[in-house]
Amino acid sequence: MKAPTMKRNGKALDVKTLEALKPRATLYRVSDGDGLLLEVRPSGAKIWLCRLTVDGRRRDMGLGGYPVVTLAAARAAALAARRLAREGIDPVVKRNVETAERKTAQAAVANANARTFKAVAEACIKAQAPGWKHGRTADIWRTSLERHAFPTIGDLPVAAVDRAAVLRAVDDVWTSRPATGRKVLRRIGTVLRYAAAHGWRASDNPADARMLRHAGLSALPGGRKQPSLHWQRVPAFLKALDGMEGLAPLALRFCLLTALRSGEVRGARWSELSFDGGPVWTVPGERMKAKRAADVQPHRVPLSPAAVAVLARAYATMTGATATPEAVPQIAGLMGDALIFPSAKRDTPLSDMALSAVIRRMNADRPKSVPLPWRDADGRGAVPHGFRATFRTWVDDTRPEDAEAAEKALAHEDANKVAGAYRRSDLFDRRVPLMNAWAEWCGGAVPDTATRKAGDQSGRLAPGLR
């Protein structure tokens, strides 16, 4: 049933009349003339309509609601629609097409905005994060890109990132901080490969360092190794370390005695210790350094008597109670999943810098004219990670037959991936006497013949190692 249309005796509508129109039980329409109608609905809504004839067919075209669409605007829209109809163009179809095109354009803009380098980088990080062992890895990626990449290329559509843009992004950090520059470049490349895999950009990678060198990015010198203390200096270092108070010096001592990374030591928990058949620390695979946690097996660490003594001292330092090495198995049972080397918050491990700060304090306690006492051969202050090289060099110089066991002690992956897939022994039984011998040396035991021969025939340190 058609809605009734009220005639107004040829008189056009005005604002006063429009405001006076009240809703009824059924909708009705009021004419303004020339095909312009106002439809008043029972809900009180007032909708403008334009009645047209296109190709012999009648069309009612909605023009919007009053008062958002004013009387003047409705008349102008109706006039424009009638002109199109006279030209044989259906204004309804034309409007629908324009609306669809506008939405498509808006969607394209939205997609372009969503696919800026910064947005794609975030998507890439989220996609990769489940395969990373530490939640901090995602934060490290974001921080490095925010500092060095986003200011230059963050707002660029990922498809528009070219070699020139990558050069601009890494130019400042490339020579001032080479190690950071390499990481930023690799991360930019990873983001661009992620975008290419999703079809958001061409598959070329403008973050390829080899290509960029031809485009003006200078080649970097090889990265310097972590500064390490010569193994002949370790007993004196540990003796000096005894004068340092707190858990950080004890964690550093434990690092040195176990030859593991500081992150693995700082995250150690009492529940990871076992004492059946000898003291063993088993580091869960997810806390070991590797590309993916799923690739890494738990790492067993045989604990020397000296390492167990450190555990007793850590408990005493943390609780204020007296503890002996013999009591460590009972202590481990009581402490459960608690951290062995916690920070002041107790439920948080020591920070990355806590162990490094211990060595810096030890090196700082000297006249400025005196060289650093705990240094590498080139004069750089030793760092915790360098003690792994110290241990490995000690093995090479004094026990070369234990080289393979030393690699297992360091939890290094087999460089030969095929061989590594089949060689699954952790050489634990061979590592027990190795780590005991290392701990004895660290404690100041008299070196055996091989050790004396590898050092100085007179038993004295070479100049520069004193």
Same domain, 244 and 208: no
Element of type H or E holding 286: none
Domain that holds residue 62: 5-108
Same domain, 267 and 391: yes
- CA separation for the pair 142, 135 (Å, rounded): 12
Q: How many CB atoms lie within 10 A of CB 60?
A: 13
Of 13, 60, 53, the C-alpha closest to 32 is 13
Of 8, 2, 66, 54, the C-alpha closest to 28 is 2
Same domain, 327 and 391: yes
- CA separation for the pair 62, 91 (Å, rounded): 11
Q: What is the full per-residue pLDDT of the chain (466 aa) written as tens digits? A: 555 555 444 458 888 888 889 999 999 999 888 889 898 999 989 999 998 888 778 888 888 889 998 999 999 989 988 888 888 888 888 888 888 888 876 665 556 556 889 999 999 999 888 877 667 888 899 999 999 999 999 988 888 888 888 888 888 887 777 778 888 988 999 999 888 888 888 777 777 665 555 444 554 444 457 788 999 999 999 999 998 899 999 999 999 999 998 889 999 999 999 999 899 999 988 777 654 444 567 899 999 999 999 999 999 999 999 999 999 999 999 999 999 999 988 888 998 788 989 999 988 877 777 788 888 888 888 888 889 999 999 999 999 999 999 999 988 876 555 455 445 678 999 999 999 999 999 998 655 444 434 444 333 333 333 3
> 3-state class of 339 per DSSP?
strand
Same domain, 297 and 376: yes
* Domain at 65, CATH number: 3.30.160.390
Q: Look at residues 214, 239, 262 and tell me which one is the last residue of a structural domain.
A: 214
Total domains in the fold of the chain: 3
Same domain, 376 and 416: yes
Backbone φ and ψ of 52, nearest 5°:
-130, 165
Same domain, 344 and 364: yes
| pLDDT score recorded for residue 108 | 58
- CA separation for the pair 146, 117 (Å, rounded): 11
- Residue 276 belongs to some domain of the structure: yes
- pTM to 2 decimals? 0.56
